[in-house]
Structure 1
Amino acid sequence: MIQVFFNKRGSGKTKKLMNLANEKAMDCSGNSVYIDDDKRLILQLHRNIRFISTEDFSLMDYHGFYGFLCGIIAQDYDIENIYIDGLSNIVSGCMDEAAHLFSRLEDIQKTRSINVYISINSEELQLPEFIKKYVA
Structure 2
Amino acid sequence: MVKLIIGGTGSGKTKELIDQVNAAVKEEKGSVVCISRGDKLTFDISHDARLIDAKEYPIKGYEGLLGFVGGIHAGNYDITRVFIDGLYKITGEKDAAKAETFLDELSAFSEKHTVNFVVSLSEDPAAATEGMKKYL
TM-score by length of 1: 0.94
- Structure 1 counterpart of 2:61: 61
Q: Percent identity, aligned pairs only? A: 28
Structure 2 counterpart SS, 1:59:
coil
- Structure 2 counterpart of 1:97: 98
> Is 1:84 matched with 2:93?
no
1:7 touches 1:125 (CA, 8 Å); kept in 2? no
Quote how far apart the aligned CAs of 1:58 are: 2.3
Q: Please give the root-mean-square deviation of Cα atoms over the aligned residues, in Å.
A: 1.2
Distance in 2, Cα, partners of 1:26 & 1:124 = 30
Task: Assess, with a 3 A threshold, how the Cα gap between structure 1 residues 124 and 2 changes in structure 2: closer, same or farther.
Answer: closer
Q: How many residues align?
A: 135
For residues 98-125 of structure 1, what are the alpha-carbon distances to aligned partners after superposition, in whole Å with 9 as ceiling and x for unaligned? 2321221111111111110010001474
The aligned amino acid for 1:84 is I
The aligned amino acid for 1:111 is K
Give the gaps of 5 or more residues in structure 1: none
- Structure 2 counterpart of 1:129: 130
- Structure 1 counterpart of 2:12: 12
Distance in 1, Cα, partners of 2:125 & 2:72 = 31
TM-score by length of 2: 0.94
